[in-house]
Structure 1
Amino acid sequence: LYFVTVVDNETIFADTNGLFEVSSSILETNSSVCERTGYTSGGYNILSDTSCGFAATGDQQNTDAQLTTQTQGGNILYYEPDDFGAAAGAIPNQVCSIGEDQRDLSRPIGPDCEPGAIEIREAYASYTSVPPVNSDILLQPLAGESDSADIIITETGNKDLQITSAMLDGDPEISWSGNALPVTIVDDSGSTYTLTVSCTGTEASATYNATLTVQHTGYLQTATYDIICEVGGEPQTPTVQTVGLYQAGSWWIGSSDENPALEDTYSFGSTTAGWQPIVGDWNNDDVDTAGLYKDGRWIIREVSGEIVTYNQFSFGTPESGWQAITGDWNGDGTDGIGLYKDGLFLLRNTASTGNPDYMFIFGSREPGWTALAGDWDGNFVDSIGIYKDGRFLLRNANSQGAPHFSFIF
């Protein structure tokens, strides 16, 4: 028997033991498939019991082939394998050695072919995966923190795609999550399924590895993704911001933002009007200190132990109306300086004389807006924003463009 489907017969009987070969066939009988011993297998058979003792490549014993009755428009019926059944794509294309099925349709129709007399008529399900199948996925958490990435699978063919299982093998620091499997992605609907892989960095500077194997029915039955988790250094210590007051050269520094108490007071700067107070971490020691700005002139107060130094320099134009802001514009841990006036921002990465590193228009050109700076998206880089009459416009980049956040508060 060669690419044959036998259904609802009593048995297969051979007069001479050992001279009867079955290959690439589906045998579903009401009693024992093989009446005698000595049958030989050419592989890729699906049998409803174990009486034949077949164990060649691709043989599936005691298996339901999940056949459905079909017709080509007349009275002749035939049994076609189910799209998601055991026969679907069971014979690799390279060993599919017959060119047509019982209906004179070419084999294979999909990427691989089916055992038995009938090939599944329509093309197999197909899909796209982001990131692509058999690619590396790099996760880079800090020690004690987690990082994750999504694998998004989208059906692109004309059959439903069923995801049957996902198995992760590797270091226990890496895990995956998703809806309970199996799940079916409906064809031509743009439906997607998302698997999420995660890594928790339990040890600084460690590297963990795992392989995620995703099993599908039909098209591309097995997909693998190599997960690489490179753990960074120790997590950053959360910074504590406290309150302070400034008036005419006098500074009052609070000890807590929840229950403020006066921790320090000192005099710094001129008592004349027009000076704007600023604060920033000027030397990357994780401590903010004070500064002043007026008409293009900057004075920075730096503290190292008991030693206090003052850094004076010019940046910007020597005219009134500019608002001073500070922030870590490039994520290097040191605050830079900036100026804002009527929609124009001038930002410099260091507190020093020189040209702006960033110069752009953002927001309204009307007067009355207040400049803001902060890490709006948690990437350890400060960016700009503006505020007026209860309305906030915030942008995640130090460049011209639309606000990423706009709200009333």
Structure 2
Amino acid sequence: MRRLATLALGVSAALLVVVGPAAAQTVEVLRTDEPAAGVRHQVLRIRLGDGTVARGNLVRWQEDRSGVALRPVLARDTIAGVETTPSMSQRALRDGALIGVNGGYFLPRPTAAPNGPFVLDGQLRSGPAVGLSGSRLSTGRGTVGIRSDGGVRLDRLQPEMTLTLPTGSWAVDEVNRNPRCPASGSVTCPRGGEVLLYDDGFGAAAPLPAGSTVAVLEAARLPATGRLTTTMRSVEVRGGSSSVTVPPGRLLLVAHGPERGPSLAQVPVGSTVTVDVALRPAASPGSSWNDLAHAVPGAPLLLRGRVQQPALFSSAITREDREALGDAHRLRRQPRTAIGRTGSGELLLLTVDGRNSGWSVGVTLLELTEVFQRLGARDAVNLDGGGATTMTMHGAVINRPSEANRGSSNALMLHVPQRTWFLRDARSGGPANSTGTFAFSGDQVLACDVDGDGRDTPVTFADGRWVVSNQREGGGALTTFSYGFQPGDVPLCGDWNGNGRDGIGVQRGNRFLLRNSASAGSPHHDFRYGRASDVAVVGDWNGNGFDTIGVRRGDRYFLRNRLSGGPADHDFHYGRPSDGPVVGDWNGNGRSSLGVRRGDRYFIRNQLSGGPADLDFHYGRASDLPVSGDWNGDGRTSLGVVR
């Protein structure tokens, strides 16, 4: 049920119009907010050349911003998984992911592997880039490469993999993919057969064509670049078509065809095996991106060095120029997800809604590219779009996807530094009894007991989005929902109905809109009290088991025992106008009383009246955000700070 410390979100409603010289298109910034230090979110209205409108969400940050970095996530943490972007975002939220978007293209089920070089933590988890027919693209597809320092590279990329055995060297055709052979339709099998590698994160049994030779390698993962040297632990020739599970912590090597399968079968167990991997960018095919921590394949490359790329135009008739994309995808207006980079190192993560004529018509790839040019992008890559286009913040969807619950194989998450909570069980100075990371710099923070276990846990609020942790250090199971979405809303929580569980609410000027549960929905209590400039406080002032509202005006407190407007039941002065209020049941008598924070010093009083402090101590730093709560369930409130 405990109380609040606020940090302003910094919302701007200024209108900026950027007009490009090449086409009748405008990009209007309707709203800007800063959900974390150095990260801006903007709501866009894009007026297209024919007068129709598309709407988008743009997130921008400097790539050298300390602690701010993109990181991909796999659906269900497997290569073959499919999961919605909101679900992946809520999982990544625990690790500091503030923003999420759907990632790159993926192959049809049952494989669902990313279509192109997917790199996670310096390991190549999927590749290469192929067309719809399954045949390899020589120069790859547009890819987002993320360095370990947070820098981003954007270009067409294709992995080059060479396997060397005592019996010879071959190209590796697939990593964590279903075999393309036996051939069907327009698929052409590699001459001599096919070579595939699987790791134990594939997430499904590896299918084996008839006559496959299967070898287990000592290594667990394939590096994104460089040489892997490992040992063959076993080798086996299979007869008919079947499947095999990848052993934990091992690589599985599969070879089949008239040359590859028999040749692998001749390699003795214990032999040394090497795999050389290079990531070849189309702009410099003789080089390799050796410094990547992560990579997500998209398509197509939109801009390279501010030059529009061939895939944008109807004249792109060759398969390589189109990056194997069909005309419907390239030339028709669709929802889009994409990323760009300016010459100064600013990164632009963009979603554009579509397929909704009353809201947003979407954009063609050329129109999308022109938006990036107006935003100053030097390079840009398109990601998966259509029904998959989704952007989340705090794990909640903030755009209008054209399809609900559309699954993807991967997503991109923007991680930012989180605040640290220092919670102390005693009402005194001293070391924290528990610490944990939870809340971003743009969040307002408070502590609430939403599950009724007698212990308060961290809660954050930003722009109507609530995140509730079930652990006092933050993390654990997270609950996210939306409630209160007008600029200036201040979050509150309290046991409004006496059921032992905190509900939530917002102060909107002098109006209070309170819900009896921590969930989205309509308010159960809606009333006015005090003035719009007052600071709200919440507590059980009379010990009846119900929390009610009070306000602070300067150094004067007006507390009311009912959830309604009317005269104050308690009216007194305490502290100074510049002090920050804290509320709690400091002595465990079942009644809430006040305290104030002055710098890093707390003055706590056990009575609802003016007078000397019963407790006077220092805790934390003057720049910290104060929170109060019963952290250990002993029935007494103590303090914490958020840094």
Instruction: Point out which structure has higher relative CO (alpha carbons under 8 A, 6+ apart).
Output: 2
Whichever structure has more helix as a proportion of its residues is 2
Same fold (TM > 0.5)? no
Query: Bigger radius of gyration, 1 or 2?
Result: 1
Bin for the TM-score computed over the shorter chain: 0.3 to 0.5
Q: State the TM-score, normalizing by the size of structure 2.
A: 0.25
